[in-house]
Amino acid sequence: MTPITSVKNATIKKVMSLNKKRGRQEHKQFIVEGIREINMAIESGLHPIDVLLNKHWDLDARDGFIAELESSNIYELDDIVFEKISYRDSVANAVATFPLFETALSNLSLKQNPLVVVVEAIEKPGNLGAIFRTADAAGVDAIIIANANTDFYNPNVIRASLGAVFTVPFAIATNDETLAFLNEKEFMVYSTYLEGTTPHHSVDMTKSTALVMGSEAHGITPFWIEDNTNCIKIPMKGKADSMNVSTAAAVVIYEAVRQRTS
């Protein structure tokens, strides 16, 4: 284990640069913060490159964690240095870097009658992470990030998902690629649309189903309205005309789960 006592250390500078998309692209790495999240990433098949540990973390717990790491660079950081790289307000005890990985649609392996969520041009990393968290809880088979408008590797995505980005299979693609994939697999595609007239709970989601959620500011684009998909709407009884996209996704996802388990 290598001690680091200065924020000017080259490894620390690299890790700090990974908080920005440009740094992630330059080094082809991203950050995972927290013991649980790091373990979930490892369990998904990823291997950490650098593991940076808080010097004052409980020794027994730290040694048990280190025992699971092979061929990673392990560093012990003073408080001031660890605080510099830590994204959370609370103590995370460990930060690790991982290599960027393949996110092609062709890598998705789906079971019979899968439930897939398509998120188009989601802007806020926290919302994207929250949708992953709901998808994990509901047993969604995959998420497709279409026309990505936020970087999946943003620390806020991983943080908001509580590690669910490592448990829910996903792919990143264009709208055209996504719809072609869904059509080839004979999915029923339901696009949530504020001006839709069909209640979300009145359609059949028991077969191969894709639920399309649009961006926070604009909802789904005309692509999903005009391209032979089925527009559905969550009934709204109050004065507000819309929900937060992660909340709306949860409502529609759990209607699909209800149908599939009733």
pLDDT in tens, 133-158: 999 999 999 999 999 999 999 999 99
At 196, is the secondary structure helix, strand, or coil? coil
pLDDT score at 70: 76
d(CA 178, CA 116): 11
Check pLDDT > 70 for residue 227.
no
How is residue 203 annotated by DSSP?
Answer: S
pLDDT score at 53: 94
Average pLDDT over residues 210-225: 93
Check pLDDT > 80 for residue 67.
no
Average pLDDT over residues 190-205: 94
| φ, ψ of residue 142 in degrees (nearest 5) | -170, 155
97 or 57: which leads in pLDDT: 97
pLDDT score at 134: 98
Per residue in 102-144, pLDDT (tens digit) is: 899 999 999 999 999 999 999 999 999 999 999 999 999 999 9
Residue 219: strand pairing partners: 215
pLDDT score at 92: 76
Check pLDDT > 80 for residue 230.
yes
Q: How many CA atoms lie within 13 A of 58 on its CB side?
A: 6
Domain boundaries, the chain: 2-99, 105-261
* In the chain, % of residues over pLDDT 90: 81
Per residue in 238-256, pLDDT (tens digit) is: 888 788 999 999 999 999 9
pLDDT score at 64: 77
Locate 257 and state its tokens.
Answer: 């789960």
d(CA 33, CA 92): 7
Check pLDDT > 80 for residue 87.
no
Per residue in 49-66, pLDDT (tens digit) is: 999 999 888 777 777 788
CB-based contacts of 138: which residues, under 8 Å, 6+ apart?
A: 115, 250, 253, 254, 256, 257
Cα distances (Å, whole numbers) of residue 110 to 62, 136, 145, 238 = 37, 15, 16, 38
Say what the pTM is: 0.93
Q: Where residue 91 falls among pLDDT bands split at 50, 70, 90?
A: low
Check pLDDT > 90 for residue 196.
no
d(CA 261, CA 11): 49
Check pLDDT > 90 for residue 68.
no
For residue 59, which amino acid is it? L
Query: Mean pLDDT, the chain, as a whole number?
Result: 93
d(CA 22, CA 17): 8
Check pLDDT > 80 for residue 165.
yes
At 119, is the secondary structure helix, strand, or coil? strand
pLDDT score at 28: 97
d(CA 224, CA 189): 9
126 or 87: which leads in pLDDT: 126
Q: Is 225 in contact with 193 (CB distance < 8 Å)?
A: yes
Count the helix, strand and coil residues of the chain and give each as a percent rounded to the nearest 5: 40, 20, 40
* In the chain, % of residues over pLDDT 70: 98
Written in H, E and C, the secondary structure of 9-63 is CHHHHHHHHCCCHHHHHHHCEEEEECHHHHHHHHHCCCCCCEEEEECCCCHHHHH
Spell out the CATH class of 105-261.
alpha beta
Is the torsion defined by CA of 190, 193, 197, 200 positive or negative? Answer: positive
Note the CATH architecture for domain 2-99: 2-Layer Sandwich (3.30)
